[in-house]
Amino acid sequence: MNILFLSHRIPYPANKGEKIRTYHQIKYLKEIGHTVSVVAPYEDDTELAFFEELNNLHCHLVVGEKLLPKPYRILRGLLKRQSLSVANFYSNTLLFKLENILSERQFDAIICTASSMAEYIFRCKPSSLKTDNVNIALLMDFMDLDSDKWQQYAQKANPLMNILYKREAKKIAELESQTSKVFDTCFFITEAEKKLFLKSNPNSTNILSLQNGMDTELFKPSQTNKDLSVPKLLFTGVMDYAPNIDAVIWFVEKVWDLILLRWPDATFHIVGMSPTDKVLNLGQKKGLVVTGYVDDVLPYFDEANIFIAPFRIARGVQNKVLQAFACGLPVISTPLGAEGIRCESNKSILIANKSHEFVTHIEQLLNSDSHFHSIVNSALDIIHQHYAWHGVLAPLNEVLTSKKTVAIAKGLVK
């Protein structure tokens, strides 16, 4: 099949959650024989090299268009009463390029990688979305239920931002609902998010879950034994992303001093690009290191002995937790951090809601080698049994080929 990805960001390098997911979908589909092209907006000229690299690795065609400055996009969205997420990723020039590509090449399916990209489909000329008078199959990878995520932001925001976040939650919910009516199939990462969406859209019959996977060739346990004499904690993620910021600030403010009282030589590395000033300021505390962007996150997984996932805002599956599992790190998480992952409390993951529960779990892990390795081995088993990318993505190929099979059966395409 000839498949076009309409991606809200160029999915390369695969260094953050949604880019990892889309990149592995592209890689998988190419490996099993499909032809894949990508159309995506970008913000910075430094990203142009990524378009070329992705094209050389896995794609037949990769096309981009630079977005206008962000303040202009947001202002335009407010004036047009749009979702700001839609405004943030929309370009009239990219729409024009998309229509030209669709008129010049025949595609069997278009996969959008976020609800905001549905805007391009809604604005596309109807004739562009047909091949030999057959509608191109439209698939939406919502990933997370973003409307609920914005609602979570609103609950923790100041009065002004509360209004803005509630507006966005409402706009995105309307967009998600409209998309489910227009697209042939829509995916969420977890069954829980699928069920939450269906509560508000009970008549939708085209909603499936497609979970995240893990690259077990890249993420694997360290070859050296872990030093369990003192906590060496780790958190990874893009550090200008609100749920990540909230998680590490809460942990440092509520838990870190308790840890230092028990283990004065404890360390906590916060590893990830684009840390905000609030996150950078955490690095002033004893034992705490904020790295900013790193070329390779794997040495930090190798050095750490416990991964911390103290999320209070979350939707979907946390890739960072899966990475920790695959790297042989025990994970201490809030319930939200474990949401959607096939794990069991006190068997493959340790759940903490309160400050002292994090400290208790750390103490138990460091004081019992057998407990430590029991948690690690159970998590590794889960990764290898349930999260290898080829197995995880098989349903995506089944959906795509079923759309093609129906068209062939009707004699519409060869």
Rounded-to-5 percentages of helix, strand, coil across the chain: 50, 15, 30
Please tell me the predicted confidence (pLDDT) of residue 25. 97
Q: What pLDDT score does 217 carry?
A: 86
Q: How much is the pLDDT for 411?
A: 43
Q: What is the dihedral of CA 40, 42, 46, 49, to 10 degrees?
A: 10
Please say whether the beta carbons of 8 and 114 come within 8 A: yes
Q: Are 119 and 91 in contact (CB under 8 A)?
A: no
DSSP helix/strand/coil, 385:
helix
Q: Are the CB atoms for 247 and 310 separated by under 8 Å?
A: yes
CATH code 3.40.50.2000 region(s) in the chain: 2-213+389-409, 232-386
Sheet with 35-42, strands from edge to edge, namely: 61-66, 35-42, 2-6, 109-112, 137-143, 185-188, 207-209
Q: In this predicted model, what pLDDT tens digit does every residue of 277-291 receive, in sequence order?
A: 999 999 999 999 999
Summarize the confidence of residues 244-253 as an average pLDDT: 97
pLDDT one-digit tens code per residue, 111-138: 999 999 999 999 999 999 998 778 999 9
Q: What's the pLDDT tens digit per position in 332-362?
A: 999 999 988 989 999 999 999 999 999 999 9
Q: What local confidence, expressed as pLDDT, does residue 412 receive?
A: 43
* Whether the predicted model's global pTM rises above the 0.75 cut: yes
404 pLDDT tier (thresholds 50, 70, 90): low
- CA-angle at 131, arms to 126 and 134, nearest 5°: 80
* Residue 414, pLDDT above cutoff 50: no
Q: Which of 242, 276, 110 is nearest to 184 (CA)?
A: 110
Architecture (CATH level 2) of domain 2-213+389-409: 3-Layer(aba) Sandwich (3.40)
Structure tokens, 116:
């905001």
Asked if residue 62 lies in contact with residue 54, where contact means CB atoms within 8 angstroms, the answer is yes
Tokens of 406: 């129906």
Arithmetic mean of pLDDT over the chain: 94
According to the model, what pLDDT value does residue 392 have?
Answer: 93
Q: Under DSSP, is residue 200 helix (H, G, I), strand (E, B) or coil?
A: helix
Q: What is the pLDDT of residue 247?
A: 96
Q: What is the pLDDT of residue 405?
A: 54
Least Cα distance to 98 among 25, 138, 38 occurs for 38
Per CATH, the number for 232-386 is: 3.40.50.2000
- pLDDT for the residue numbered 177: 97
Tens-place pLDDT, residues 93-115: 999 999 999 999 999 999 999 99
Task: Respond yes or no on whether the N-terminal peptide bond of residue 13 is cis (omega within 30° of 0).
Answer: yes
Strands (E), 43-144: 61-66, 109-112, 130-131, 134-135, 137-143
Crossing angle between the packed helical segments 159-182 and 146-155, to the nearest 10 degrees: 170
- Identify the residue whose tokens are 């000033």: 277
